[in-house]
Amino acid sequence: MKKTTARLADGRELIYYDARDDVVRDAADRRPLDPVATDSEIRHDRLLGDSVAIASHRQARTYHPPADECPLCPSRGGRLSEIPAADYDVAVFENRFPSLAGGHGRCEVVCFTSDHDASFADLTDEQAALVLAAWADRTAELSQLPGVAQVFCFENRGEEIGVTLGHPHGQIYAYPFVTPRTERMLTSLAAHRKATGGRNLFDDVLADERADGRRIVLDAAHWFAFVPYAAHWPYEVHLYPKRRVPDLPALDDAARAEFPRVYLELLRRFDRLFGGGGASPAPTPYIAAWHQAPVRGAEQRAEFALHLELFTIRRTPGKLKFLAGSESGMNVFINDVPPEAAAERLREAASES
């Protein structure tokens, strides 16, 4: 992998990740951009203990542009975009409309491929491996920034999820605090360790899923995927490396090498869920979220288990799972699809060998 760092016309950082070492990246951003103006603020909810980002400047962000005006495509034929090069493998840049800014964290956009009409599931193993390398590299670098407490790599896919740019891409948030979801996991970890004389909750959850067997989706040499016992979403898969590590940079070579095959298979199964088995299944909207340990805290990092949570808001063809009163008002999820049934469907959607 070759990494090349550049600057956009307004000063934002741009990083190219190329599979070939002989690629030269010297195209300058020729757009007449004004400096980025952000108005981001972190407010604390005293009742719930949550942190909320107030970012009014995001109202002006690009919204469903036509394909020939996509800001994530390469700059070609006189049309200038966020990426000055005429082509790229993987590109990462600071978001022009960040949710976190002004000393309150950092937001980056990760473009998985220059092909506007592709999706992550269309990538080759080599392309997916390069994205993983970029995630790991950005996690390592962002973790070193002053004030960053946690790094979150994720992908939103599909208009139903709220995606406003159709180009295959994800995002990375470097939070100035440990997120509420992770804080709850850390609390459960500590309680389980105390109640069991030192056992690790993540290890026990994985052992229990293997012993039960009904919710296993995929069991590879270095990765394990299952529908959780108390799944919140109709179709939700958790993917863990079998060797417990705190974050993406800590993955060993064997896990990195196997990841593309495993992850691409999971994404392709999601696309087959509601496609009727045809050659061109309907794309399934999903969120893919990497849960990584906080940047600091040796004990927390030693206990935490890196994992990816992949879920869709679609519960059946033509019907979405909306977060209504119980979910949005009280954070109590009601799942219409039994996790065992979801796991069985995902096993049935496996690629033909």
Q: Which residues are catalytic?
A: 169
Number of C-alpha atoms within 13 angstroms, CB side, residue 67? 6
Give the CA distances from residue 345 to residues 205, 239, 308, 313, 342, in Å, rounded to whole numbers and listed in that order: 22, 17, 20, 16, 5
Stated as kind and residue range, the H or E segment containing 288 is strand 286-291
Are the C-beta atoms of 153 and 142 separated by less than 8 Å? no
Region label for 60, one of left (φ > 0), alpha (ψ between -120 and 50) or beta (otherwise)? alpha
Give the CA distances from residue 106 to residues 98, 241, 305, in Å, rounded to whole numbers and listed in that order: 7, 27, 24
How does DSSP assign 140-186, residue by residue? HHHTTSTT--EEEEEEEESGGGT----SSEEEEEEESS--HHHHHHH
Residue 133: how many CB atoms within 10 A of its CB? 17
Region label for 11, one of left (φ > 0), alpha (ψ between -120 and 50) or beta (otherwise)? left
The first and second tokens of residue 349, run together, are 């959607």
Phi, psi (deg, nearest 5) at residue 48: -95, -20
Question: 24 CB contacts (<8 Å, ≥6 apart)?
Answer: none
